[in-house]
Amino acid sequence: MVTVGVIGGGQLARMMIPPAVNLGLDIRILAEQEGMSAALAATAVGDYRDLDTVLAFAETVDVITFDHEHVPAPILRELQARGIPVHPGPDALHFAQDKIAMREKLSEIGVPVPEWAAVTNADELSAFLADNGGAAVLKTPRGGYDGKGVRVVRSADEAADWFATLDEDGRGGALLVEELVDFRRELAQLVARRPSGQIVAWPVVETVQKDGVCSEVFAPAPRSAGRVAEMAEQIALTIAETLGVTGVLAVELFETTDDRILVNELAMRPHNSGHWTQDGCTTSQFEQHLRAVLDLPLGATGCHDDHTVMANILGGPTEGTLADRYAAALEAHPTVKVHNYGKEPRPGRKVGHVNVSGSDLDEVAYQARAAAAFFQD
Site mask for ligand ADP (CB under 6 A), range 258-277, x = bound = ------xx------------
Three-state SS sequence of 319-348 = CCCHHHHHHHHHHHCCCCEEEECCCCCCCC
Three-point CA angle 212, 213, 214, nearest 5°: 125
The residue at minimum Cβ distance from ligand ADP is 181
Other C-beta atoms lying within 10 Å of the C-beta of residue 137 = 18
| Shortest Å, Cβ 181 to ligand ADP | 4
Told to check if 101 binds ligand ADP by CB under 6 A, we report no
Q: Which residues contact 310 (CB under 8 A, 6 or more apart)?
A: 216, 217, 219, 275, 276, 353, 354, 355, 368
- Judged by CB under 6 A, the residue of 67, 69, 98, 178 near ligand ADP is 178
CA distances (Å), origin 283, targets 111, 271, 276, 279, 310: 28, 15, 11, 9, 16
- Judged by CB under 6 A, the residue of 143, 144, 195, 315 near ligand ADP is 144
The secondary structure element, H or E, covering residue 244 is none
Other C-beta atoms lying within 10 Å of the C-beta of residue 150 = 17
264 is in an annotated binding site: yes
104 is in an annotated binding site: no
Question: What CA–CA distance (Å, rounded) separates 281 from 296?
Answer: 18
The secondary structure element, H or E, covering residue 131 is helix 122-131
Told to check if 154 binds ligand ADP by CB under 6 A, we report no
Told to check if 346 binds ligand ADP by CB under 6 A, we report no
Q: Which residues contact 170 (CB under 8 A, 6 or more apart)?
A: 140, 142, 143
Told to check if 146 binds ligand ADP by CB under 6 A, we report yes
- Judged by CB under 6 A, the residue of 181, 199, 296, 373 near ligand ADP is 181
210 is in an annotated binding site: no
Of the listed pieces 32-40, 124-132, 160-168, 179-187, which binds ligand ADP according to CB under 6 A? 179-187
179 is in an annotated binding site: yes
- Judged by CB under 6 A, the residue of 35, 133, 197, 212 near ligand ADP is 212
191 is in an annotated binding site: no
The secondary structure element, H or E, covering residue 197 is none
139 is in an annotated binding site: yes
For residue 333, how many C-alpha atoms fall within 13 Å in the half-sphere facing its CB? 24
In sequence order, the β-bridge partners of residue 45 are 31
265 is in an annotated binding site: yes
- Judged by CB under 6 A, the residue of 126, 198, 209, 238 near ligand ADP is 209
| Shortest Å, Cβ 1 to ligand ADP | 36
Residue type at position 13:
A
Told to check if 303 binds ligand ADP by CB under 6 A, we report no
Told to check if 150 binds ligand ADP by CB under 6 A, we report yes
- Judged by CB under 6 A, the residue of 18, 46, 143, 147 near ligand ADP is 147
Task: Note whether 116 and 179 are within 8 A (CB).
Answer: yes
181 is in an annotated binding site: yes
Q: Which residue numbers belong to the known binding site for ATP?
A: 99, 139, 178-181, 186, 264-265
Q: Which residue numbers belong to the known binding site?
A: 99, 139, 178-181, 186, 264-265
Residues engaged in binding ligand ADP (CB under 6 A): 114, 137, 139, 144-150, 178, 180-181, 186, 209, 212, 252, 264-265
